[in-house]
């Protein structure tokens, strides 16, 4: 079994990381693009890439993902870090998940994972089975953490570390890190997340999305794909 990547920090900012400054907090989003921890989908329509999948190195797989030529398969994991900035603590109130698009997955090749070994970290996780969520409706963490439809996702959280606990107070100058996992067994799925926090005076909301502000995307790994 492989472990999660280390928690995001100011010293570990990837090329795809988004930094959203606010008066009261800064959000850092760092997707897990390590080839050894991921399965990747390469569409058959991209003949030049799919013909090289079997002999691709881990560096090539990561580069293809950053170029949009490979897509996360099965699940997508991202590290989210909240940094308290404004001279007082902030309280993270919610993380909602919205599925924005769902369609039949096209034929393609799925790789790996190759495995990275194990490590000591047991971070907090919020895992979501995206196939069960309605389209274009934000679903709050409070529902995800108790819904019978998300039972398998909660088990995934337990297998990886521990489930998130909200609300969570972030003291001034401190960091709160968690991993957000969205997974699918059936559909080519676009999705995004929204984090909500309170700074003692105002409520703030910020959307967590993928590269270049586009929705996150994950496709199924097997033959149980539906339209």
The gap from C-alpha 173 to its chain's centroid, in whole angstroms, comes to: 24
Per-residue pLDDT band for 71 (boundaries 50, 70, 90) equals confident
pLDDT for 85 equals 67
DSSP assigned state of 159: H
Q: Mean pLDDT across the chain, nearest whole number?
A: 74
Q: Label each residue of 187-217 as H, E or C.
A: CEEEEEEEEEEECCCCEEEEEECCHHHCCEE
Mean pLDDT value of segment 31-35: 66
pLDDT for 132 equals 94
Is 60 exceeded by the pLDDT of residue 16? no
Least confident stretch, 2-16, 130-144, 170-184: 2-16
Tens of pLDDT, residue by residue over 151-198, are 999 998 888 778 888 898 887 767 777 888 899 999 999 999 998 988
Which range in 27-31, 140-144, 169-173, 216-220 is most confidently predicted, on average pLDDT? Answer: 140-144
pLDDT for 4 equals 27
Give percent of the chain above pLDDT 70: 72
Is 80 exceeded by the pLDDT of residue 145? yes
Segment (H or E) for 219:
strand 216-219
pLDDT for 10 equals 32
pLDDT for 136 equals 95
Is 90 exceeded by the pLDDT of residue 139? yes
Is 90 exceeded by the pLDDT of residue 22? no
pLDDT for 218 equals 87
Give the closest residue to 2 by CA, choosing from 74, 71, 69, 68. 74
Q: Set out the domains of the chain in order of their start, with CATH numbers.
A: 18-219 (2.60.40.1470)
Mean pLDDT value of segment 97-125: 69
Give the closest residue to 76 by CA, choosing from 44, 110, 125, 33. 33
Mean pLDDT value of segment 75-90: 73
Is 70 exceeded by the pLDDT of residue 86? no
65 and 33 Cβ atoms separated by less than 8 Å: yes
Least confident stretch, 31-35, 54-58, 217-221: 31-35
């Amino acid at each position: 079994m492989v472990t999660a990547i280390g928690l995001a920090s100011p010293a570990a900012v990837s090329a795809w990381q988004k930094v959203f400054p606010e008066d009261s907090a800064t959000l850092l989003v760092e997707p897990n693009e390590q080839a050894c921890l991921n399965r990747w989908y390469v569409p058959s329509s991209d003949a030049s890439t799919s013909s090289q999948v079997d002999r691709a190195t881990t560096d090539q797989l990561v580069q293809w993902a950053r170029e949009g030529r490979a897509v996360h398969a099965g699940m997508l994991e991202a590290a989210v870090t909240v940094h308290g900035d404004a001279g007082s603590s902030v309280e993270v109130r919610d993380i909602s998940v919205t599925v924005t698009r769902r369609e039949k997955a096209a034929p393609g090749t799925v790789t790996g994972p190759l495995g990275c070994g194990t490590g000591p970290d047991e971070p907090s996780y919020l895992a979501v089975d995206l196939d069960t969520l309605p389209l274009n409706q934000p679903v709050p963490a409070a529902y995800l953490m108790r819904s019978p439809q998300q039972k398998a996702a909660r088990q995934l959280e337990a297998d990886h570390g521990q489930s998130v606990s909200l609300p969570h107070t972030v003291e001034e100058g401190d960091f709160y890190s968690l991993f957000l996992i969205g997974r699918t067994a059936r559909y080519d799925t676009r999705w995004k997340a929204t984090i909500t926090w309170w700074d003692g005076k105002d409520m703030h909301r910020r959307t967590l999305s993928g590269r270049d502000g586009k929705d996150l995307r994950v496709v199924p790994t097997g033959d149980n794909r539906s339209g």
